[in-house]
Amino acid sequence: MKKSIAIDMDGVIADTETQFINWYERDYGVRIKPTEIIGLKEDEMFPDKTAVRKFAFTPGFFRTLPVMQGAVESVKALMESFEVYIVSAAMEFPQSLPEKAEWLKEHFPFIDWRHIVFCGDKSIINTDYMIDDHVKNLDYFNGTTIIFHAFHNINFNHHQRVSNWEEVLVLMEKERYL
């Protein structure tokens, strides 16, 4: 029986950081460099502290997220040895649920709908591994936690960290034999 992995969407397979920065420049005319937001919380990343929530509530935000580099190929590779589930908190922003479903259908059509979990609280997830960029989701997870590097989690070091999808594959190759 294959071990199972819960993989987060936003900030892990979908590049929310780039989307936020691009939308902020589009709407405010100010380009924020990724190096300027390191260590900040998402609601602190821009001079207008309301921008992130405003964008997240805007139709089209989640539907047009860029795909994280290497995510598609890596998820396909992981599926050869693991039961892979995409797990995303999709209840806080009502329009995100259908947009995330459409986004997954476009960019990850090989993931069966039975392996997609939209929820509010990820503490209910019971897979062997969880890959997420938010410490709040990993801290209450009972399996093996893997934190996916993001500007907002740089100051947290109590979970195994990966910086990109290449590192995920290297780590999970080792885990395959445990």
Which domains does the chain carry?
3-15+67-175 (3.40.50.1000), 16-56 (no CATH)
Nearest to 7 by CA among 169, 173, 174: 169
Residue 110 has pLDDT above 90, yes or no: yes
Catalytic residues: 8, 10
Q: Which band of pLDDT confidence, cut at 50, 70 and 90, is reported for residue 94?
A: confident
Q: Which tens digit of pLDDT belongs to each residue from 17-69? A: 999 999 999 999 999 999 999 999 999 999 999 999 999 999 999 999 999 99
The Cβ of residue 3 has, within 10 Å, a number of other Cβ atoms equal to 16
Residue 176 has pLDDT above 80, yes or no: no
Share of the chain above pLDDT 90, in %: 94
The whole-number pLDDT of residue 84 equals: 98
SS3 call for 144: strand
Work out the angle at residue 146's Cα, subtended by the Cα atoms of residues 144 and 150, and round it to the nearest 5 degrees.
160
pTM, full prediction: 0.96
The whole-number pLDDT of residue 101 equals: 97
The whole-number pLDDT of residue 178 equals: 54
Residue 152 has pLDDT above 60, yes or no: yes
Q: Which residue has the tokens 């992981």?
A: 78
- Give dist(CA 149, CA 74) in Å, integer: 16
Token pair of 140 as six digits: 């209450």
